[in-house]
Amino acid sequence: MHNDSSLSSRGNYLTASKRHPLWEIFQQGAVYALGNVAVKSVGLLLIPLCLNPKYLTVAEFNLWGILIPASQLMIIVVGLGLNHGLLRFYSDPTCIEERKPLAGSVFYATAFLSVFTIIIGLIIANLIFPQQQMARIILVALVYVAMEAVNRVPFDLLRAQERPTAYTVITIFKFGITIGLTIYLLMVYQLGLWALLWGQLIGSSLTLGMVLFLQRKLLFNRPSWSVFWKTMRYGFLLIFASISSMLLNMGDRFLIETFMGKQAIGPVAIYTLAGQIAGILNMLLVQSFGLVYLVIALRISNDPIISKSFYRSTFRILGLILLLSAMTLGILAPEAIEMLQRYFHSDPIYQAAAPLVAFITFGYVFFGMSNAVAIGLHIANRTSWVSLAVFASMVFNIGINIFLIPTMGLMGAALATLLGYGLLFIISSIAAERIYPVGYPIAFFLKWCIVVGILTGILMFWIEGSLWLRTGVKLLIVLAFAIVVLLMYRNEIRALMLRTRMKLS
């Protein structure tokens, strides 16, 4: 009965939609990317002001670089992984009857945990930081954490409902409020760090009101203990993966401050700038892909032959796109930072971020590809392997950071990021192939990693001339290289897409 229902639902989907699933991922991913850009680009668009000592000192930006990962880590802890369970079971066609109690259970549990976090966090902050100024900063940060933790529940409902337009409209609204208010407080009132804090908090608060109203029929349903524990069991293991992933991504900033904070000026600020430039790849492609891929991949997972061909096609195309994008960011980073200094009067100290960008960006490439191969672990409900892979990579990354930062400084941290994500990709690929064999073209991807990596290293600093001449030459080289790659694999990509579409027809 279960199989008949699953096949029937799949048949309805194929009848309703004649589009290729890769196109559907691109289409929905593009809409999600727009929303991601709106929220994540707040920090990126504020860079010209944040790097200008007139509005934000290096010390304040350094503190902001520590507050951001600490806040993101707290948001994950407060959620207890419930959002993962919400997305998993709401998208499951066999759990339609549980959708209302599922949404209510996750919402009320997250709201309670958020309030509890504010109270306990404030008590601890006053004990650790007797300075009134720092205690106030932590209070605002805790309220922001609570708002964002609750916000994730209705936003994940929009993902599960495959409503990328609503998701994007609301996130663009959040972007507008946050960026506008922050710029106003920075430039008019010159509040420094407080402008960043209040801008984030008010933007998050107004957005929460919107999504609660939009999803009120689901969120305010009576919770169910049985559904809650089912969701908790699934998501709790993934919380370790999320925490480990966050530490893998941003944990090095705490180590940088520990090892370099007293000997160097603004080391976290410099590394934060490099991370924000490299994060363009993560923001535009990796996260947007992840937002939609899991839902669609699970939806077509009933037929192993169809789905595995689809997963291989996605892996190959995604790998090429990520590598070309990483090369673009890596080779243009020196020019981008030079433009910030020339036209926005940034502090010259930030020039040290330029050589770090390429290492961090290629780390994000491996992160995106590890998400692609891990889909089989989600299908097989072996999410413990996801947590194990990320945890092992995080421990390795911390160890490498402890070894490299004292000897190589910020370059050591950037190299550790690349190695940590590389290990994550290796472990995820091995585990996924053993549990849910797909036959990913790993050799194809690694070959292009070497080619693109060498080309990036050559082009980063070896082209001389004026700022705009260097920028133009590098852009032309990237465009020419992308065209060559497309021409080389156009028949193979077309064949993969046609083969997958024929099987789905």
pLDDT level of residue 107 (50, 70, 90 thresholds): confident
Q: What is the 3-state secondary structure (H, E, C) of 155-168?
A: HHHHHHCCCHHHHH
119 pLDDT higher than 50: yes
Q: What is the 3-state secondary structure (H, E, C) of 433-467?
A: HHHCCCCCCHHHHHHHHHHHHHHHHHHHHCCCCCH
pLDDT level of residue 300 (50, 70, 90 thresholds): low
Rounded average pLDDT over 450-469: 89
Question: Percent of the chain at pLDDT above 70?
Answer: 85
Structure tokens at 204: 């998050």
Question: In the prediction, which pLDDT does 406 show?
Answer: 94
Question: In the prediction, which pLDDT does 275 show?
Answer: 92
239-263, pLDDT tens digit by residue?
Answer: 777 788 788 888 899 999 999 987 7
Task: Choose between 263 and 96: higher pLDDT.
Answer: 263
15 pLDDT higher than 50: no
Contact of 394 with 244, CB cutoff 8 Å: yes
149 pLDDT higher than 70: yes
Residue ranges per domain, the chain?
22-301+349-440
Residues counted in the chain: 505
Give the integer Cα–Cα distance in Å for 296 and 287: 15
**Distance from CA of residue 284 to its chain's centroid?**
9
Lowest mean pLDDT among 47-56, 107-116, 218-227, 255-264: 218-227
Q: How far apart are the first and last CA of the chain?
A: 23
505 pLDDT higher than 80: no
Question: In the prediction, which pLDDT does 93 show?
Answer: 63
- The residue ranges of DSSP E strands in 336-397, in sequence order, are none
67 pLDDT higher than 60: yes
Task: Choose between 503 and 388: higher pLDDT.
Answer: 388
Task: Choose between 331 and 29: higher pLDDT.
Answer: 331
pLDDT level of residue 36 (50, 70, 90 thresholds): low
Question: In the prediction, which pLDDT does 437 show?
Answer: 85
pLDDT level of residue 229 (50, 70, 90 thresholds): confident
Give the integer Cα–Cα distance in Å for 110 and 118: 13
Give the integer Cα–Cα distance in Å for 340 and 14: 49
Instruction: Tell me whether residue 71 is exposed, middle or buried, using C-beta atoms within 10 angstroms of its C-beta: 0 to 12, 13 to 18, 19 or more.
Output: middle
Lowest mean pLDDT among 240-249, 317-326, 482-491: 240-249
pTM for this structure?
0.79
Lowest mean pLDDT among 194-208, 324-338, 380-394: 380-394
Question: In the prediction, which pLDDT does 25 show?
Answer: 55
282: Cβ–Cβ under 8 A, 6 or more apart, which residues? 364, 367, 368
Structure tokens at 325: 């994008």
Rg (alpha carbons) of the chain, rounded to whole number: 23
Contact of 21 with 300, CB cutoff 8 Å: yes
Contact of 219 with 152, CB cutoff 8 Å: no
351-382, pLDDT tens digit by residue?
Answer: 999 999 999 999 999 999 998 898 888 777 77
Question: In the prediction, which pLDDT does 38 show?
Answer: 61
Task: Choose between 419 and 120: higher pLDDT.
Answer: 419
